[in-house]
Homo-oligomer: A and B are copies of this chain.
Amino acid sequence: MITNQKLRKQVKDEFMNYLTLNKHRKTPERFAILDHIYSTKGHFDMDSLYNSMIDANFRVSRATLYNTIQLLLDSGLVVRHQFGDNTAKYERTFGNENHAHLICTSCGQVWETKNSNIFTPSQQKKIKNFSINHYNMYIYGLCSKCNHTNKLHVKKLERENELKLDIDKKEKIDIIEPLI
């Protein structure tokens, strides 16, 4: 288990290399943003990053945040997600387990799977003419709470409409039954 202190040093070195190689300047803002991102786990958006940096008494403009996040994406230290809404979410690349995202289409909450080895090396070999850097997997469905509510809702609607769902619809609903 790598310590957070060590990880922060490693990614700083990595970023330093990236900036040197690509002839970008090493400003305090850039390292502060990287370090800030790597001092917490989980997802964040630009607004929460901005607020959390201000709260930590580090004055930085939104323009600089957007500028820097692009460098972090390019250097592979941060990944970008976009779930249901139109606000981009970001996540540090290292120090997180390999995981897929579970997005509830009803309440919008996002969960993560633990240690999902969905993408094995043998499967990677199948993909020709493309060199993989990283991947994101988004699984849409209903969380247990919404699934429960939804089933009651569908039943209610069926009754109200005195209408039976056709075969296609039935198959679809079968798919979204809870998996033990």
Binding site for B on A (CB under 8 A): 10, 13-14, 17, 20-22, 74, 76, 79-80, 82, 84, 86, 88, 102, 104-105, 111, 113, 116, 118-119, 123-144, 147, 154, 157-158, 161, 163, 165-166, 168-169, 172, 175-180
Contacts and interface: CB of A to CB of B under 8 A. Distances in A.
A170 to B, nearest CB: 11
A156 to B, nearest CB: 10
A157 B21 contact: yes
Contacts of A143: 129-130
Contacts of A144: 129-131
A125 B105 CA distance: 19
Greatest chain B CB density within 10 A among A102, A134, A135, A169 is at: A135
A180 B128 contact: yes
